[in-house]
Amino acid sequence: VLAFALAAVFSSRITRPLRRLVTVARDLREGKLDRRTELERADELGELAHAFDEMAAALEQKVEETQRLAVTDELTGLANRRKFGEGLARELERGRRFGLGLGLGMLDIDHFKRINDTLGHLAGDQVLVGIADALRASLRNIDLACRYGGEEFALLLPATPGNDAVLVAERLRAAVADRPLGPDGDLHVTLSAGVATYPADGETAAELIRISDMRLYAAKQGGRNRVMGPVG
């Protein structure tokens, strides 16, 4: 009886906590980074479990930060081109499944090279950050703004038909034109934009990007500081 009693105590105090540690370690190895031992003990095993949980929490935070940086533009904090491509593919699939429209806009800062050449790249970076802030402030939670490359931005507008997508781009163009930018807040820049919509302008990501780029080029050729869309 005494032997059974000692075995039960040993199992409760030592074996089960160790098994819990092993189970959580295996879960972490399999990518279940939210798992914790949740062992509350005032002994050496409790200290070990606490240290183990702290390590697991730090690992989860590090992985989340790495994943965020992989899809985020470092300067502006907007989505990067990779995340935009993933979002566009996802929204196109949703549009096909549920019969929803989709707006895609390509925006480019007018005469951006002149800003870099005359005021320096630091001023150019501040302009990019200011425009990113304007985009974030003007879009819905379901929309996605991206720094597509250099001074070019892209917009993904789910469930937004042609005319509405053009109106969104026009609102953003006006917001940027009215926004003081640069080191001293005395610099005003403008955007040109091209808008394409699904399914009217194309049914693939490549088609929509090509059409919006073509319309962006037309906006530049037409005098800049304007939006060209399906009805433009």
The predicted pLDDT at position 10 comes to: 47
The predicted pLDDT at position 161 comes to: 85
d(CA 21, CA 26): 9
Residue 179 · residue 130 · CB < 8 Å: yes
The predicted pLDDT at position 124 comes to: 93
pLDDT tens string, the chain, 232 residues long: the values are 455 444 455 455 667 777 888 888 888 888 887 888 877 777 777 787 788 788 888 877 876 666 666 779 999 999 999 999 999 999 999 999 999 999 999 999 999 999 999 999 999 999 999 999 999 998 999 999 999 999 999 999 999 988 899 999 999 999 999 998 877 778 889 999 999 999 999 999 999 999 999 999 999 999 999 999 986 4
Helix-strand-coil split of the chain, %, nearest 5: 55, 15, 30
User: Burial level of 47, CB count in 10 A (0-12/13-18/19+)?
Assistant: exposed
Strand order in the sheet with 191-198: 144-149, 152-158, 102-109, 191-198, 227-228
Burial 196-230 (b: 16+ CB within 10 A, else e): bbbeebbeebeebbebbbebbeebbeeeebbbbbb
Residue 197 · residue 158 · CB < 8 Å: no
User: Burial level of 72, CB count in 10 A (0-12/13-18/19+)?
Assistant: middle
d(CA 107, CA 193): 4
Prediction pTM value: 0.74
The predicted pLDDT at position 65 comes to: 67
Coil, strand, or helix at residue 166? helix
Q: How many CB atoms lie within 10 A of CB 123?
A: 17
The predicted pLDDT at position 115 comes to: 92
Is 40 catalytic? The answer is no
Name the active-site residue from 151, 152, 170, 203.
151
- The two three-digit tokens of residue 170, written as one number: 């026009």
Give per-residue pLDDT as tens, 16-32: 777 888 888 888 888 88
